[in-house]
Amino acid sequence: MGEEVKKRWGCFKVGLIVILVSVLLLAGIVGGLYLWGNYRIDKAERTVSEYLQKKYNREFVVTNGHYIWATGTYTFDAYAKDDPELKFPAFAGFNLYENGIGDMYGVVREGRETHKLIDPFINAISKDNFSSANFAPGIYGGDPEWEIIKYDIRKNNFTPLQAAAKYPSKIYIQES
């Protein structure tokens, strides 16, 4: 009878070791995938940051990276180091963009600059108004002359006032 107890105890030890090794192996796989995912997001963040710096000649902070598995793309929050209040989305891996990287910096910046122009007028009327503002140099898409103007505005990061000063017969500032 003593030998039978030893055999059961031996089977229990083997079973316990198999379960323990399986749990450790599973934890290692999950942890490895997590670290690999973080490495890929960090690498994409650096790539997007370098892209933004080259495009706008400013230093940017790119954070909060998320991989979207359904589309195979990344999305980030970004802001210029010297202007942390102006946060905008940036993207990587989209075929919509020439090099796979895109951003909304210009649009968000133009919207903020336009708000600076019209908010004093709106606030003079009432503090309880809601307004939306944007400077949209691309609204006349397709016209070759407008494409050149739009390219110049975006390339040089003109504010609405700067764009209107450079193209006085083409760009008007009005409120509605």
Mean pLDDT of 127-152: 69
Is the whole model's pTM more than 0.75, yes or no?
no
Distance, in Å, from the CA atom of 131 to the CA atom of 118, rounded to the nearest integer, reads 9
pLDDT band at 154 (very low <50, low <70, confident <90, very high): confident
Distance, in Å, from the CA atom of 52 to the CA atom of 37, rounded to the nearest integer, reads 22
Q: Can you tell me whether residue 139 is helix, strand or coil?
A: coil
User: Would you state the pLDDT for residue 24?
Assistant: 73
Q: Which domains does the chain have, with CATH numbers?
A: 1-103 (3.10.450), 106-176 (no CATH)
pLDDT tens digit sequence for 77-88: 999 999 999 999
User: Would you state the pLDDT for residue 164?
Assistant: 82
Which residue in this structure is represented by tokens 């055999």? Answer: 7
Distance, in Å, from the CA atom of 133 to the CA atom of 121, rounded to the nearest integer, reads 12
pLDDT tens digit sequence for 79-122: 999 999 999 999 888 666 667 888 888 888 888 887 788 778 77
Q: Retrieve residue 41's tokens.
A: 């997001």
Distance, in Å, from the CA atom of 1 to the CA atom of 32, rounded to the nearest integer, reads 47
Distance, in Å, from the CA atom of 108 to the CA atom of 90, rounded to the nearest integer, reads 11
Beta-bridge mates of residue 73: 68
